Amino acid sequence: MATTYDIIFDRFLSKITDYELAELIDADLESNLNKFLRGAISDFKYCPKDLSNRDDSAMTFNIDLNDSEQEILAKFMLVHWINPNILRLENIRQNLGNKDFQIYSGANFLDKLTTLKKQLISEAVEDMVYYYYAT
């Protein structure tokens, strides 16, 4: 039995609230989700199953992924989703009046995003390691 990308996408989308992502037309949304998934696949280094055994045009893995494997991929997708938000220039450059507040505010926001990214990576890696030793 095969696992479709939609199953992984649903798990990922249930973890976020992104109004910009929600406004994308279906083709653009699918393209973005596929980019996040490809990144997640490369991050899932200790999967005993061959994640390259897939059909990108049919949007399906040719293997059956269990709930743990699907969840790990969805969590790594979160990391790839948050990266552009950390790297976005607007997050560094604030449009507020006071220059000192501008710098502190931008740095504080960027620090919180970076901390969130580290937490997401840590959680996904912890799940991956636990899964690896459990199988």
pLDDT single digits (tens) 104-131: 566 677 777 788 888 889 988 998 888 8
> Is 23 buried (19+), middle (13-18) or exposed (0-12) by CB count in 10 A?
exposed
Measured between alpha carbons, how far is 35 from 103 in angstroms, rounded to an integer?
32
Q: Cα(134)–Cα(115) distance, rounded to whole angstroms?
A: 28
Low-confidence ranges of the chain (pLDDT < 70): 19, 22, 87-107
Question: Does the reported pTM lie above 0.85?
Answer: no
Handedness of CA 38, 42, 19, 127 (dihedral sign): positive
**C-beta separation of 42 from 77 below 8 A:** no
